[in-house]
A = this chain, B = another copy of it.
Amino acid sequence: MMKRTVLATAVALVSGFAIHTAAVAAAGEPIQPIKPPASINIGMVELGKKLYFDPRLSKSGIMSCNTCHNLSMGGTDNIPTSVGDKWQQGPINAPTVLNSSLNLAQFWDGRAADLKAQAGGPIANPGEMAFTHTLAINVLESIPAYVREFKMVFGKDKIDIDQVTTAIAEFEKTLVTPNSRFDQWLLGKKDALTKQEQEGYALFKDSGCVACHNGEAVGGNSFQKMGIVEPYKGNMPDGRAAVTGKDEDRFNFKVPTLRNVELTYPYFHDGAANTLTEAVDVMGRLQLGRKFTKEENAKIVAFLKTLTGDQPTFTLPILPPSSDATPRPTPFK
Contacts and interface: CB of A to CB of B under 8 A. Distances in A.
Interface of A: 53-56, 60-62, 67, 70-74, 77-79, 83, 86-87, 89, 262-263, 265-266, 274-277, 311, 313-319, 321-322, 324, 328-329, 331-332
Given A79-B60, A83-B60, A331-B83, A71 B321 contact: no
A70 B55 contact: yes
Q: How many copies does the complex hold?
A: 2
17 contacts: A54-B72, A55-B77, A60-B83, A61-B77, A61-B79, A62-B67, A72-B316, A79-B328, A79-B329, A79-B331, A262-B321, A263-B321, A266-B328, A274-B324, A275-B324, A313-B318, A314-B315
A118 B16 CA distance: 60
Contacts of A274: 324, 328
A32 B245 CA distance: 67
A56 B62 CA distance: 18
A317 B316 CA distance: 9
A125 to B, nearest CB: 17
A78 B262 contact: no
Nearest to A62: B83
A72 B262 contact: no
